[in-house]
Amino acid sequence: MKDKIIGIILFVLIVFIIFVFVSSNITINKYDKISKNIDKQIENKERKIKIKENEYKKIKEENIAKKKQLDNMNNYINTLSEKVKEYEK
Amino acid sequence: MKNKIVFLILSLIFIVTISITAIFVKKIYQEKIIPVNEKIAIYEKLEKKENKIDKKIQNEIRESKNIQKQTKENQNTKQELEKKLNKYQVTYNKKVIYLTFDDGPSEYTMDILNTLDKYNIKATFFVTCSDNLENISKEIIKRGHTIALHTCTHKYSYVYSSDEAYFEDLNNISNLVYKYTGIKSKYVRLPGGSSNTVSRAYNLGIMSRLSSSLHEKGYKYYDWNIDSNDAGGANSEQEYSNVIGALQNSDRDINMVLMHDTKVSTKDSLDGIIKDALNLGYTFSNINEYTKEVHHGINN
Asked if B77 and A38 come within 8 Å (Cβ–Cβ), the reply is no
What pLDDT is stored for residue B69 in this prediction? 93
What pLDDT is stored for residue B227 in this prediction? 97
Same domain, B182 and B271: yes
Same domain, B122 and B265: yes
Same domain, B98 and B62: no
Exposed (0-12), middle (13-18) or buried (19+): which is B220, by Cβ within 10 Å?
middle
Under 8 Å CB pairs connecting chains A and B tally to: 111
Phi and psi angles of residue B288, each rounded to the nearest 5 degrees, phi first: -145, -175
Number of domains in chain B: 2
| Cα gap B241→B249, rounded to integer Å | 12
Same domain, B252 and B158: yes
What pLDDT is stored for residue A37 in this prediction? 92
What pLDDT is stored for residue B287 in this prediction? 93
Q: Chain B residues with CB inside 8 Å of A76's CB?
A: 78, 120
pLDDT of A10 > 90? The answer is: no
Same domain, B111 and B172: yes
What pLDDT is stored for residue B67 in this prediction? 93
Same domain, B35 and B100: no
What pLDDT is stored for residue B178 in this prediction? 95
Residue B86's domain comprises 1-92
Q: Residues in chain B with pLDDT < 70?
A: 89-94
Chain B residue with minimum CA distance to A71: B71
Asked if B67 and A17 come within 8 Å (Cβ–Cβ), the reply is no
Among A35, A87, A88, the residue with its CB nearest the CB of B35 is A35
Higher model confidence: residue B175 or residue A85? Answer: B175
Asked if A45 and B39 come within 8 Å (Cβ–Cβ), the reply is no
Same domain, B193 and B275: yes
pLDDT of A14 > 90? The answer is: no
Same domain, B109 and B206: yes
Last residue of a domain, one of B53, B68, B92: B92
Q: Whose CA is closest to B102, among B276, B221, B251, B205?
A: B221
Same domain, B73 and B100: no
Classify residue B293: in a domain, yes or no.
Answer: no
Q: Chain A residues with CB inside 8 Å of B6's CB?
A: 2, 6
Classify residue B298: in a domain, yes or no.
Answer: no
Helix (H, G, I), strand (E, B) or coil at B250: coil
Q: Is B3 on the interface with A (CB under 8 A)?
A: yes
Q: Is B39 on the interface with A (CB under 8 A)?
A: yes
Classify residue B295: in a domain, yes or no.
Answer: no
To the nearest whole number, what is the mean pLDDT of chain A? 89
